[in-house]
Amino acid sequence: MKAQELIAAVKDSGFDKQYAELHWSGTFEEYLNMVIERPAIARNAFQRMYDMIATYGFTTFVEYKKEITHWKFFEDPIENGRDAIFGLDVHLMKLVNTIKAGAAGYGPEKRVILLHGPVGSSKSTIARLMKKGIEEYSKTPEGAMYSYVWTNLAEVLKMEDTMRSPMNQDPLYIIPPERRDTILSLINKGRSRQEVVKLEGDLNPACRYVFTALMKHYKGDWSKIVKNHVRVERLILSERDRIGIGTFQPKDEKNQDSTELTGDINYRKIAEYGSDSDPRAFNFDGEFNIANRGMIEFIEVLKLDVAFLYDLLTASQEHKIKPKKFAQCDIDEVIIGHTNEPEYKKLQNNEFMEALRDRTVKIDVPYITKLKEEVKIYEKSFNATTVPQVHIAPHTLEMAAMWAVLTRLEDPKKANLTLVQKMKLYNGKTSQQYTEDNVKELRKEAIREGLDGISPRYIQDKISSALVLDKGKGCINPFIVLNEMESGLKAHSLINNEELRKRYKELLSEVKREYEDMVKHEVQRAISADDNAIDKLCGNYIDNLKAYIQREKVRNSFTGTHEEPDERLMRSIEEKIDISENRKDDFRREIMNYIGALAIEGKTFDFRANERLHKALELKLFEDQKDTIKLTVHVSKVVDKEAQAKIDIVKSRLIKNYGYCEICSSDVLEFVAGIFARGDVLKDKDRH
């Protein structure tokens, strides 16, 4: 392929057409016609932000009898989930509701939106997503926005021939304030409240200077100004180019002053224009200036010097900023700040900061307390695509996530509930003892849950470390990662309490016990996964159960004689799921009634549809087969070809059904064999 073909491919992809659309320019009259046709072009920053989020749609679900809105924008559809947020639907819903209220003009548009939470809880990611979203939205037809350029100035004024609006203001601001009500009433005639165009504020000092000079030149003929000196252009927001998106980060006090927010004098131009108060000798390039029409992010906002916070107060409440040596000028932008808890506590305790507290809307962004949502964070970063050279054994990420979640939970006040059980309840597992209402109460009584504990960053760092060290020789398992996390606790910069370190280590032991139970069950299922054998066992159980309920005898297929139902077989299955002797009749009738109901509907009974019976049959089959497979013999020392063949079958099932590889399937069989061996020893001791 030649370079000429590649160039043609770019052209054929519609690149030229797209470029032309994004760089449209026209007259003020053309722009006015567009506003009349589609008033949304002239939306304010909060309206635009809400519409951008709403563009991606939402779904709703009910949790604890409350309807929750899941906004799809926070899945990061722009970059295929790169900055996706998991498990914070309630908090993101509060954030979007705040923006929606601001868009409607109910008050939040005059506030600083403060994202508050512990380190690594995705506050920065949320702000980054919003900046990315509004930037991409400005490139779409629905999100199109426009600003203006002053042209042909050299022949009228002693300055450069063109001057772009330094604060990206809407061309409608060129309409004289005394004529706006008349023009807006004509534009808004017959429109709904949602479609009404509002115009609040005035031109920035530089544009006001040009406008005043041109009005003087044309003796008040405004139509000549917009015809001869105004060119309207499409405005594309860009964080990299500092157009409509600003980011401000606290630095050393000696190297920073408030002009970084509101602009500074261009000393080179003072000699040209003769005064440092001439707007032509001023750079309107502070973060507040360039973020106009979009949004500004304040990183660690509460670490700002007091001088900066004063600017923030006026910017949020009055939508005005005060550049040096100029009158206040109007801004229209969403102000997002984020802070950690120690800084927020300092704000609460500082009586001199009441004004700022009064002008903030706090949105909590805690750690995730749902296991399945926490797992998604690590699955996004560590998967077969991102880590193709090392296999991650099943449950590895889940165990890491489980420990992270457990460190964030408060000990339950109910004596009969463990922390692990509480975690499972939060994860959606309910029981007769703990209903959804009980779980809701558990959440209410744990006030600080999600504000303390281990951050996802620490977990990601330790998983990365385990992958690099590759102690599993091509496959990392839960124990490698859990041990890596435990060893890292000694040097963890945020744990300065020995008691807390001890608690986290104890929770690691809890996680290891949970893992043991999981892999034991998986190996049991792999051993008892012989479909023919389990079908045969089920048929035998149902035949005996039916005979028992109907007080009949069972025909022995081998001898042809009729015998009493095999009580020993039935009880050996039922005991696996803790069906007591005095409850066996109820359980058996329940199964028979279920089979009868299916028969009436013309359906065939399938034990796999009954979770409890399926589990009981698997455990019974495992019990019967475990000794024949000789799992308790160390896998690597098996010499018997027949036994090895049976173990190979179990390994293949683990690989096929559960996602293991050759390495971790062997490791997990050895590990479970050791557990069963210890179990056998215990039974021998019990006998004595």
> What tens digit of pLDDT does each residue of 622-676 get?
777 665 555 554 444 545 677 677 788 888 889 998 999 999 998 898 888 777 7
By C-alpha distance, which of 327, 211, 218, 317 is closest to 262? 327
Helix 498-527 vs helix 478-488: angle between axes, to the nearest 10 degrees?
180
How far apart (Å, rounded) are the C-alpha atoms in residues 200 and 44?
Answer: 9
Two tokens at 125? 């990611």
Q: How many helices and strands (H and E) does the chain possess?
A: 28, 19
DSSP 3-state assignment of 518? helix
Q: Which of 657, 34, 667, 52 is nearest to 334 (CA)?
A: 52
Strand-pairing partners, residue 246, are: 296
Given a contact cutoff of 8 angstroms between Cβ atoms, the answer to whether 402 and 514 are in contact is: yes
What pLDDT shows up at residue 615?
Answer: 79
How many CB atoms neighbour CB 22 within 10 A? 14
Residues of the chain with pLDDT under 70: 1-2, 4-16, 252-255, 431-432, 529-531, 557-560, 625-640, 643, 677-688
Which of 146, 142, 131, 141 shows the shortest CA–CA distance to 42? 146
What was the pLDDT predicted at 551? 86
Q: What is the DSSP string of 112-169?
A: EEEEE-STTSSHHHHHHHHHHHHHHHTTSSTT--EEEEE-S-TTTSSS-S-EE-TT--
pLDDT tens sequence across 329-341: 999 999 999 999 8
Structure tokens at 145: 């926005």
- In order of start, what are the domains of the chain with their CATH numbers? 23-366 (3.40.50.300), 371-511 (no CATH), 526-687 (no CATH)
| Beta strands at 264-265 and 282-283: parallel, antiparallel or unpaired | antiparallel
pLDDT of res. 153: 92
Q: Which among 126, 369, 147, 352 is positioned nearest to 238, based on CA atoms?
A: 147
AA identity, residue 32: L
How does the average pLDDT of the chain come out, rounded? 87
CA separation, residue 207 to residues 163, 211, 324, 368, 566 (Å) = 9, 6, 16, 48, 96
Cα–Cα dist 580/523, whole Å: 26
577-631 pLDDT, tens per residue?
888 888 888 888 888 888 888 888 888 888 777 777 887 887 787 777 665 555 5
Output the CA–CA distances (angstroms, integers) from residue 120 to 365, 369, 483, in the order listed: 10, 14, 22
pTM: 0.85
Residue ranges with strand state E in 520-652:
554-555, 562-563
Q: What is the predicted pLDDT for the residue at 682?
A: 37
